[in-house]
Amino acid sequence: MKNFDEEVLVDDLSFQVGGEKFTMRYVRPEVLAAWEDEDIGSTSEELLKRQDERIVAFLGDEEQGKKWLTLRARDENAVPMVQVNELLRWMVEVQTSRPTTPPSPSAPGRGRTARTSGAE
């Protein structure tokens, strides 16, 4: 018998950010699917709010959700953007069992252009 629980699910869904420990839970696929078509907002503040809402949805527990929002609201020893992004990326990767694809790196500076040769 093929046991998908052993092969697919991650056993340890706990993590630590800013000295606080949390445990993620698995969500229904419909939760993730709804996010695909969702308008996340046009400002950076709206985007951050949506990221926090998604992290809280993965936590699932009201107490942990409040703890996350309290952690994010503090000015001293603030959670940097890089940690918020990496945490949400990890959460989605675990939920989907596939890595998120980072954008392709672009070359620095302006592209090189050359004049085409022609008959002189």
What residues does each domain of the chain span?
Answer: 7-96
Based on its alpha-carbon atoms, the radius of gyration of the chain, rounded to whole angstroms, reads 20
Q: From CA 91, how far away is CA 32, in angstroms rounded?
A: 11
The pLDDT confidence band at residue 104, using thresholds 50, 70 and 90, is very low
* Percent of the chain as helix, strand, coil, to the nearest 5: 45, 5, 45
Overall pTM surpassing 0.95 (yes/no): no
Please tell me whether residue 71 adopts helix, strand or coil conformation: helix
pLDDT at 75: 94
